């Protein structure tokens, strides 16, 4: 019993290290100087029925066919996505998407920045009639009741155009040209309005994987049955207008405010008139909020392990082989991490266990 105590102690220490490495942006510009973000700086359209684009980097194995980019969950661990190699600093994004069916399957289209601002569309495979919108600022997940649900009948059966129009004064979400939600800095949670350069990510994951936390599985609509798959999401076309111009975007300070962003060879809002919506008078009020469980702690640090931000719903490569009771793994992410205090004092606890075990061994020899 004594040697297993030591082994278990080091096993738990390894798991704690794993937790500490799961939720970090590769370089947080609010903590240090980071490389400049390459800018799109113009309007560009992509027709994925013609194949992959070199403007995007794939994770997993998306494929391409007559309906465009195909993101498929066929087995546990599948979570294919594409991410743009450029950033926009405010802009207009139109996705033509057919969401995936399947209980627990989540199709996602996300704008995300290096400091973890985020603007989301998400579809649940168990519901062909609704879509969710969400936003986050600076990776703050202390309050995750910012999501809203919207009528979106037939989203598994055919293609619809989902739009995000994002400026310093408002974010507008539209479905097939109809505004379903508007967010302004004054209506957003305090310090949560997204306002830093973002990439585009589109992909799929299994929120209903049986190893996920119970809250995540419940939100996703239930446990995913992989034997009933495969489950495929399609991205036919993508049109993006960058409302700023230049070759790259840089953070001039660590405030995370849009006024601290500079555009090399251009200007922030230098292309603001291209597609900006002039009125949101028809925007409905958000009456249906959704409590979306976030399977990580709200702390974001840095690691050289990942080349792209590792933020829900997508996980980095690698996985834990075993976790103690009460923990669950989502890909490489442990979804019920310990508190900050436990992470700080855990090494001390481990040290005491090792010393105690050594004392017991020496006293028995």
Residues marked active site are found at 118, 122
Cα-Cα-Cα-Cα dihedral sign, residues 222, 312, 18, 307: positive
Cis peptide before 287 (omega within 30 of 0): no
Three-state secondary structure call for residue 203: strand
What torsion, rounded to 10 degrees, do the Cα atoms 186, 189, 191, 194 define?
A: -80
Dist CA 241 CA 4 (whole Å) = 58
Sequence-ordered list of residues with C-beta below 8 angstroms from that of 70, at least 6 positions apart, any chain: 62, 63, 64, 232, 233, 234
Q: Judge whether 224 and 206 are in contact, CB under 8 Å.
A: yes
- Give the contacts of 187 (CB within 8 A, at least 6 positions apart): none
Q: DSSP alpha helices (H): ranges in the chain?
A: 2-20, 214-220, 340-364
**Please, what sign has the CA dihedral across residues 86, 91, 94, 99?**
positive
Tell me if residue 16 falls in helix, strand or coil: helix
| Cα 344 from Cα 46, distance rounded (Å) | 47
Strand partners, 141: none
Nearest to 318 by CA among 2, 59, 124, 113: 59
Give Dmax over CA atoms of the chain in angstroms.
81
List CB contacts of 285: < 8 A, sequence separation 6 or more: none
Written as six digits, the tokens of 94 are 């139109």
Which single residue is written with the structure tokens 């293609």? 159
Task: State the Cα–Cα distance between residues 364 and 275, nearest whole angstrom.
Answer: 77
């Amino acid at each position: 019993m004594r040697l297993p105590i030591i082994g278990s102690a080091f096993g738990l220490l390894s798991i704690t290290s794993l937790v500490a490495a799961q939720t970090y942006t590769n370089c947080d510009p609010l903590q240090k100087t980071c490389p400049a973000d390459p800018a799109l700086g113009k309007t560009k359209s992509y027709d994925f029925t013609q194949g992959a684009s070199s403007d995007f980097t794939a994770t997993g194995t998306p494929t391409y066919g007559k309906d465009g980019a195909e993101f498929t969950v066929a087995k546990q661990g599948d979570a294919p996505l594409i991410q743009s190699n450029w950033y926009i600093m405010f802009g207009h994004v139109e996705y033509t998407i057919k969401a995936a069916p399947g209980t627990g399957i989540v199709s996602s289209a996300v704008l995300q920045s290096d400091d973890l601002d985020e603007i989301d569309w998400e579809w649940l495979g168990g519901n062909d009639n609704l879509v969710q919108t969400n936003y986050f600022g600076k990776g703050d997940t202390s309050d995750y009741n910012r999501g809203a649900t919207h009528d979106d009948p037939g989203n598994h059966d055919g293609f619809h155009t989902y739009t995000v129009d994002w400026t310093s004064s408002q974010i507008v979400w539209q479905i097939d040209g109809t505004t379903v939600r508007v967010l302004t800095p004054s209506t957003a949670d305090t310090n949560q309005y997204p306002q830093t350069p973002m990439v585009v990510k589109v992909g799929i994951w299994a929120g209903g994987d049986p190893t996920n936390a119970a809250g995540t599985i419940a939100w996703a609509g239930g446990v995913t049955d992989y034997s009933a798959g495969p489950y495929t999401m399609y991205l036919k076309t993508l049109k993006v207008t960058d409302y700023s111009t230049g070759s790259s975007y840089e953070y001039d300070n660590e405030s995370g405010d849009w006024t601290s962003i500079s555009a090399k060879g251009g200007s922030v809002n230098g292309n603001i008139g291209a597609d900006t919506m002039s009125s949101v008078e028809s925007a409905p009020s958000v009456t249906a909020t959704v409590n979306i469980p976030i399977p990580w702690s709200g702390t974001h640090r840095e690691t050289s392990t990942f080349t792209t931000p590792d933020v829900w719903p997508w996980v980095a490569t690698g996985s834990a082989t075993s976790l103690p009771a009460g923990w669950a793994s989502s890909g490489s992410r442990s979804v019920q991490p310990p508190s900050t205090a436990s992470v700080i004092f855990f090494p001390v606890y481990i040290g005491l266990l090792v010393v105690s075990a050594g004392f017991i061994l020496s006293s028995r020899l």
